[in-house]
Structures are given as C-alpha cells and as structure tokens.
Amino acid sequence: MDLRLTAKEKRFREEVRDFIATNLPEDIRSHLRAGHPPTKDHIVRWHRILNTRGWATAHWPKEWGGAGLSPVERMILTEEIFLAPAPTPLVFNSSMIGPVIIQFGSEEQKRQFLPKIANLDIWFCQGFSEPDAGSDLASLRTLARRDGDHYVVTGQKIWTTMAHHADWMFCLVRTDPAAKKQVGISMLLIDMKTPGVTVRPIMSIDGHHHLNEVFLDEVRVPVENRVGEENKGWDYAKFLLGHERTGIAGVGRSKERLSYARELATQVKAGKRPLAEDPCFREQLALIEADLKALEITQLRVVAGHAGHHADKPDPLTSVLKVRGTELYQAVCELACRSAGPAAIAIQPAGGAADELDAAPRWGAALAPSYFYSRAASIYGGSNEIQKNILAKTVLGL
C-alpha cells in the first residue's frame, strides 16, 4: 500500500492552509492556542466560514451542501484545522446526525434539516447516554409511547455535551419495551424548545460547562420526526458512532499541542538552561513524536483502505485510532502541563482572555484545565474499554 500523498492531495493541503491563514479570525486562533476550549460564538463563526467552501460538511454529497471530498482529503482538512488551531466543524451536525439523515432520513427531513445543519443555523446535541446506559447503551430506558401522530417521550439523558447551546437533539428512545434490548429502539429528532424538555448543567473537572443532564417529561414529538423505521434506531446509532470515531484519532490536535509544549519549553528554565534542553524532557518529547508518527501512518492505512469498506457499517479499525489517539493526546497535554511547573496551578482569570494569558507565567493557568479535560477523551465517543472489546471480537476474533 502506497501511503504517500499524491500531487493532487499535496495541492489540496496547500489550498486548505492558504484558506485558513486568510480566513481564520485571530481572536479564535489565539484563544485556542492558549489552550482554552472554543466558545459557541467561535464554533458558529468558523463553521459558517468553512461552509462557504463546503468544508464544514466536507464528506457530504455536493447536492446536500458538501464538498464530496475523498477520505484522504477529508483527513488532510481535519489535520490542518487542528494545526491552525481552529475549532472543528460541529461534530454533532456534520459527522453524526447529518450523515444519518442523508442515509436513512425521509426526503422531507433532508430538505428541512440538511441545509440548516450544514450552515449551523441549527445546533444538534446527542441524546444517547443515560444514568444506567452509557457504555452499555442498549440498556437505555427512556420511553416513547405512541399517541396518534405523536410519540410521548419520558426519561433522562446525561453527559449531553453542549445541550445548553442546542436547538435540537437526536435522541434514542425505547419504542418496544418487550423486545430484547438492542431491538425496540428508535431515533427521534426533538426540538429542545418543546414543553417538557429541561436542561441542567454539569460542571466538569476543568471548571467549564460542557456537559448537561436533559430531562424529558411527557415530551410530545411528531411521528414525522422519527429517523428511518420504528425500532431500527440501534442500526442507525451504530452507523452514526462509526462516523464519529473516524475523526477521533486527532493526529493534528496532538501535533498542535506538541508544538505548543515545545514552544513553552523554550520559555521555561530547568536550572539555568531552557527546559527544551533538558535530557528528560527531550526524551519524553521524542517518544511522543515517534508514537504520533506511528499513529499517523496507521490512520493513513485506515483511510486508504476505506474505499473497500461497506459504507453502512463502521470500520472496527477506527477503534484503534480512537484508543491510541486519545492516549497520545493525553500524554501531550500532560507534557505541556509539566512544562509549566507550579504555573499550571495558577488561578485562571475570569473570562480567560487570551491576551491576559500570553505573558509568562500566566499561560500556565490554562494548561491544567486542558489536561483535566483531556482525560474525558478516553470516555466520550465510546469508552476505550468498549473499543478494546470491539477490537477483540471483530479484528482478533477472540
């Protein structure tokens, strides 16, 4: 297998770099470079800028606003966005519910939702996890009772990322409680303004509000908002999660953080010399760089082999990318955090304005929250333990 980029793919990388250099607002770039999570305004603004080129939904068919990029071109685009650094297109819209509606939605759903999803005119969140149904998602208990032309939904979702920003939720509900747990599940699109929907914040260890509980109390959802067939939601969820994991290796994200750690190490002293000259630091840096290169090659092998894979089934090898990608991202964040030393536990100023943090050692205040949040990467998107089970069964045949 030839893993070298073609001349066309190299030209595409240059085109992406030029576009980002010209169009990425500096306030967004500097905010992310300092290690802060993007705000809603950052995500919406950048998503819409990308959408002017069809790059917010780069893998969608052109008829629905995408760019029809190949898997390799999409990988290049994602890597350059991470390296900028810039926010990635909203994954719930572009990589999760969008492809599901394209594949399984009704024509009316495609006309109603896809243009707004592509331009982030509406923001979707994911209503999958429940208090007793996270990694064991099939145990979900949120019920949807049919009442004429509506479903009446009652239950609770948890760890719902950015539900406080969302206009809509794609939600798994149990429509046949008597069926075995993987059967009898349907997928509904729920307007978050519907009476009976309550969002309550969960503050995470990094001190930011990313997560929520969502309570559904007798929420009436029109039947036409069901995606695909009734009781087939488990199949659609597997399709959706396969798309989510494709980009989760985050090679570009780890490269950007590694670059930042290297930059910080030139500013920090280890004794009388810059930390960048410390043998232990250099050894850790080299080990991560080598592992990251190996992951990048593995990602290329998976992406290059994508054409022969069934489009309606997730590739189990994406689990390799998910597990190793999150482990390396956490290692990079830990290295950057160690670079700051005691400055990493400094109190972050209210609002965390990037210009306040650029002057050493204030930049350190953003590193510990960034490191803490990186720990969540091995949980969201299907925990690493679950991914290892998938690999054991589908790749190793155990």
Tens of pLDDT along 224-273? 999 999 999 999 998 887 666 556 788 999 999 999 999 989 988 888 89
Distance CA 247, CA 155 (A): 31
Q: Is the pLDDT of residue 357 over 50?
A: no
For the chain, where are the E strands, in sequence order? 124-127, 143-147, 150-157, 168-174, 185-191, 197-202, 211-222, 226-227, 269-270, 273-274
Active site residue 244: yes
Packed helices 318-340 and 251-265: angle between N→C axes, nearest 10 degrees: 20
pLDDT at position 244, please?
60
Tokens of 94: 């572009």
Quickly state the pLDDT bin for 387 (edges 50, 70, 90): confident
Distance CA 258, CA 85 (A): 12
**pLDDT tens digits for 13-26?**
999 999 999 999 99
Angstrom CA distances, 39 to 22, 36, 51, stand at 21, 9, 18
Angstrom CA distances, 346 to 128, 197, 372, stand at 36, 38, 14
Residue 287 phi, psi dihedral angles, 5° rounding: -60, -45
**pLDDT tens digits for 299-345?**
888 887 755 555 555 577 788 888 999 999 999 999 998 888 877 77
Distance CA 23, CA 13 (A): 15
Number of helices (H), then strands (E), belonging to the chain: the values are 14, 10
Distance CA 85, CA 20 (A): 9
Exposure string (b/e) for 155-172, b if CB count within 10 Å is 16 or more? bbbbbbbbbbbbebbbbb
Say what the pTM is: 0.87
Return all residues near 11 (Cβ < 8 A) that are at least 6 apart. none
Quickly state the pLDDT bin for 352 (edges 50, 70, 90): low
**pLDDT tens digits for 129-164?**
999 887 788 889 999 999 999 999 999 999 999 999
Number of Cβ within 10 Å of residue 272's Cβ equals: 5
- Longest alpha-carbon distance in the chain: 76
Distance CA 369, CA 355 (A): 18
**pLDDT tens digits for 79-129?**
999 999 999 999 999 999 999 999 999 999 999 999 999 999 999 999 999
Distance CA 136, CA 386 (A): 9
Distance CA 266, CA 263 (A): 6
pLDDT at position 241, please?
75
Are 198 and 214 in contact, with CB atoms under 8 Å apart? yes
ω before 342 within 30° of 0 (cis)? Answer: no
Weakest-pLDDT range from 209-218, 301-310, 365-374: 301-310
Distance CA 209, CA 39 (A): 11
Pick the catalytic residue: 73, 79, 130, 244? Answer: 244
Quickly state the pLDDT bin for 355 (edges 50, 70, 90): very low
Q: Is the pLDDT of residue 186 over 90?
A: yes
Residue-wise DSSP of 19-56: HHHHHS-HHHHHHHHTTPPPPHHHHHHHHHHHHTTT-T
| 394 or 292, which is more confident | 292
**Mean pLDDT computed over 9-36:** 95
pLDDT at position 348, please?
59
Return all residues near 204 (Cβ < 8 A) that are at least 6 apart. 210, 211, 372, 373, 376
